[in-house]
Amino acid sequence: MKLNQHYQELQESYLFSDIAKKVADYQQKHPTADLIRLGIGDVTRPLVPNVVEAFEKAVKEQGTPEGFHGYGPEQGYDFLRKAVQDYYASFEVELPLEDIFISDGAKSDVGNILDLFAKDNRVLIPNPVYPVYLDTNLMDGREIVYLNANLENGFLPMPEQGEKADIIYLCSPNNPTGAVYTKKQLAQWVEYARKQDAVILFDAAYEAFVREAGLPRSIFEIEGAKECAIEFCSLSKTAGFTGTRCGYTVVPEELVREGVSLRKMWLRRQTTKFNGVSYPVQRAAAAVFTPEGMEQCRENLRVYQENAQCMAATLEELGIWFTGGKNSPYIWMKCPEGMTSWEFFDFLLEKAGIVGTPGSGFGSNGEGFFRLTAFNTKEKTQQAMERLKALLRKD
């Protein structure tokens, strides 16, 4: 019996436990302090009524002989795949139904997709990054090359000609930086990937936060992307499904490597290792895409977007450099006065009772930066920004 020794190469992540420890210490010392949490990466608003209604109806169906559903298709029910297909069509991306695979969320599929690739591929991963991309590749022992995201490139790294890559991770709008690629920039990535015969794994979990016209929500808005990309999306942030679990992955028919269809491989993988998302959850997910569902979800998103706007306006007023906020629930700010990420964390907690996330926890290039999230209430976010202004205003 031999274990997968690559697990020993994973670094234990102490980020959120260290934050929790510091917050607990603070609360013990200041039992009456009114803490404001702007480090939350989870949504806080409940499922919308249209979704709850569809969810309840489907649960009741499961309790009747005529409405009962047993094992469903591994790749998802057509009623939901069709809803996703229409959603893509609304931003002019045409997809055949067979390209769309329903999942229990983006995290699982981002990890599971690696079943399709050999272990000796070279993987390009941004730094800072959503840690799942890195850890899932470390578990398989793949060679990793870091893509430097930094102040100079506005945390939107571009391909370096001459750098060899087989698998490329891109996330836009980005977690943790909130930065969003333009179509022109994504077109450069598509061109680079095609030249290298590489595959782009595109994480669009935050696409619903894109507000500015002309910014891409899907890599498939770029010509030629279907020949070199797989896209992961999620209802977690779009519709508050973090605890309900549903997402979708698009593997285009056109994506072929070594003469083999990746869509066919993914179907084979899913039908072997996955038994689909539960029927009531898929009914609830389909309700998100109805006109009423969309409008109700948009109202929730609007709250987060207004929070992000409020934070962005505050940082602009204070003259602090940041990315994100406009098309993303995340704000990635430069720590003032040359503080490190953890120094600013302590400073903000002690002096203003605000909890955020140190940027260094997402990779070495995050040192000196700090992530704020828009998932608290409007009132708490506004209150936090008033405290920030009082703390950091120069005059």
Q: Which residues form the interface with ligand PLP (CB under 6 A)? A: 41, 105-107, 130, 171, 175, 203, 205, 234, 236, 242, 247
Nearest distance in Å: CB 227, ligand PLP: 23
User: Smallest distance from the beta carbon of 173 to ligand PLP, in angstroms?
Assistant: 9
Q: How far is the CB of 228 from ligand PLP (least distance, A)?
A: 20
What's the one-letter identity of residue 30?
H
Q: By C-beta, is 247 or 336 nearer to ligand PLP?
A: 247
Tell me whether the omega of the peptide bond preceding residue 173 falls within 30 degrees of 0, making it cis.
yes
Residue 364's contacts (CB-CB under 8 Å, 6 or more residues apart) are: 127
Of 316, 394, 345, 367, which is closest to residue 38 (Cα–Cα)?
345
**Which residues is 242 bridged to in the sheet?**
none
**Rounded least distance, CB 175 to ligand PLP, Å:** 4
Query: In this structure, are residues 265 and 77 in contact, taking their beta carbons and an 8 Å threshold?
Result: no
CA distance 300 to 295: 9
**Shortest distance (Å) from residue 249 CB to ligand PLP:** 10
Three-state DSSP state, 303: helix
Strand partners, 247: 103, 234
Q: C-beta of 161: minimal distance to ligand PLP in Å?
A: 27
Q: What are phi and psi of 307, to 5 degrees?
A: -60, -45
In the complex with ligand PLP, the residue whose CB is nearer, 132 or 267, is: 132
Closer residue to ligand PLP in complex, CB, 106/210: 106
Separation between Cα atoms, residue 194 and residue 223, nearest integer Å:
11
Residue 268 CB, nearest approach to ligand PLP (Å): 22
Q: 15 CB contacts (<8 Å, ≥6 apart)?
A: 357, 358, 361
Whose Cβ is closer to ligand PLP: residue 106's or residue 352's? Answer: 106
E strand spans, 153-205: 167-171, 199-203
- Are residues 103 and 277 in contact, defined by beta-carbon separation less than 8 angstroms? yes
Q: Least CB distance from residue 224 to ligand PLP, whole Å?
A: 24
Residue placing its CB nearer to ligand PLP in the complex, 106 or 228:
106
Smaller CB distance to ligand PLP: residue 175 or 282?
175
- Across 217-376, the runs of DSSP E, i.e. the strands, are 229-234, 247-250, 256-257, 260-261, 322-324, 330-334, 354-355, 357-358, 369-373
Closest CB to ligand PLP among 133 and 220? 133
Name which of 19, 2, 37 is nearest 352 in CA terms.
37
